[in-house]
Structure 1
């Protein structure tokens, strides 16, 4: 019967030499050292870190009746279209000026876009029209 040493190795946290099985943080991050620890029979715990997508994702609000996302109102899409035509810009030119894809401008003008306050602010600044406030996002 063989004897195995089950010393715990912690990766990603500051650990003293006794709790990490004699490995320091630099060794614990080295894939070769981790592989050597596994071959030696040490217990190695890996932890997957959150990519952060959940923190930065937009909070989507649902319309209770239809269970659909709220989109820009008819007034907003009309104001964007009229403002763009008054400045004699194409959708692609407007998109370039606000540093967004042309598809974004097309979605806002067709009323399919989910309102984003940053994009609405850029459009207001370039087109010189009021898009945020009462009546937006209904």
Structure 2
């Protein structure tokens, strides 16, 4: 019997129809020959609540009218140029920004769905702006604290 099974025990010590989850009570009922009804509850002992909205389903189908936004190809080229200028491999850059090498590869190939936090990490790592009007310009140094 697993944790999520519910057992109804008709026993002298328990009121009629009482639900018992402990092994001791169930085994005691079995020894006395009491009627035991076992039911498995669907999804019990899980903390997952799957939520699928209509928009999520549409995005997954990726129709022509509603598609995932992909990273522009020119941004991928800028990432590659900045990385090569510093003599880093994709793995080195991924390690520096605490991401997987696959993420850097997808960003460079323009296949990634843009995440502003990851783009900010890459900007700081290669020292080049990747967003806004002045893409490809050197990143301004952070202001000095007083």
TM > 0.5? yes
Equivalent-residue separation in structure 1 for 2:101 and 2:36 (angstroms): 56
Q: How does 1:83-94 map to 2 (within 5 A)?
A: 83-94=82-93
- Displacement of 1:109 in angstroms is 0.6
Question: Which residue of the partner structure matches residue 21 of structure 1?
Answer: 18
| CA RMSD between the two structures | 4.1
Deviations 1:43-76 (A, max 9, x none): 6452413436769xxx798465276532111221
Q: Is the 8 A contact 1:72 1:113 kept in 2?
A: yes
- Displacement of 1:121 in angstroms is 2.1
Question: Which residue of the partner structure matches residue 123 of structure 1?
Answer: 122
Q: TM-score, normalised by structure 2?
A: 0.54
Equivalent-residue separation in structure 2 for 1:123 and 1:106 (angstroms): 12
Question: Which residue of the partner structure matches residue 48 of structure 2?
Answer: 51
Q: TM-score, normalised by structure 1?
A: 0.56
Q: Which structure: larger Rg?
A: 2
Between 1 and 2, higher relative CO (CA 8 Å, sep ≥ 6) is seen in 1
Question: Which residue of the partner structure matches residue 78 of structure 2?
Answer: 79
Q: Are the structure 2 counterparts of residues 106 and 44 from structure 1 closer, same or farther at C-alpha, using a change threshold of 3 Å?
A: same
Is there any run of 5+ residues in structure 1 with no aligned partner, and where? Answer: 1-6, 10-16
Is there any run of 5+ residues in structure 2 with no aligned partner, and where? Answer: 1-6, 136-146
Q: Are the structure 2 counterparts of residues 93 and 42 from structure 1 closer, same or farther at C-alpha, using a change threshold of 3 Å?
A: same
**What is the number of equivalent residue pairs in this alignment?**
113
Deviations 1:13-38 (A, max 9, x none): xxxx9798164xxxx3x5x3696589
Q: Is the 8 A contact 1:107 1:113 kept in 2?
A: yes
Equivalent-residue separation in structure 2 for 1:64 and 1:101 (angstroms): 29
